[in-house]
Amino acid sequence: MPEESLNRSTDSKLDELVSGYFTDLDFSALPALMNHLEDARCWLVKNKDQLDNKHLNPILKKQEIQDRLSAKTLARIKLEETDRFVALDDQNQIKFNSISFSPLTHRIASTLMDLLQPQGRVKLFQSGRNWYPNPGYMV
């Protein structure tokens, strides 16, 4: 499937930013948001005992992670799992789905609305509340 057919029209500035499914957004010039993100990060570090660590192996070997994330492995996944859009069970991460960062989520949504300037109504939501501490990853 050509990459152009993967692009979705959002009627926002996002259409200009995205190549395929993903893009990087730089929030470093937004100190209030960056402070809010830093507060959330500090809370997570301080309250690690409240997080879901069952998917984290802190002693996983670097070579094993590199093999799982190699271009060869990712090419195989793309070839064999053509309908796959999300990562599955191959992961090394901490999950914090039970932890709510509602004020931060609202601030991020507001920032995205300002940045992307959608022409119509859009629904923004938080998903994938995961932390990938070294040696974290998800395939």
Predicted TM-score (pTM) of the model is 0.61
Confidence of residue 4 (pLDDT cuts 50, 70, 90): very low
Residue from 82, 76, 80, 57 nearest 135 by CA = 57
The answer for residues whose C-beta is within 8 angstroms of residue 103's C-beta and 6 or more apart is 36
Both tokens of residue 101?
């960062």
* Alpha-carbon gap, residue 91 to 64, rounded angstroms: 12
Does residue 45 sit in helix, strand or coil? helix
pLDDT digits (tens, 9 = 90+) for 18-73: 666 667 788 889 999 999 999 999 999 899 888 988 889 989 898 999 998 899 98
Assess whether pLDDT exceeds 50 at residue 1. no
Q: How many domains is the chain built from?
A: 1
Domain of 29 in residue numbering reads as 3-138
pLDDT digits (tens, 9 = 90+) for 98-124: 788 888 888 888 888 888 888 877 777
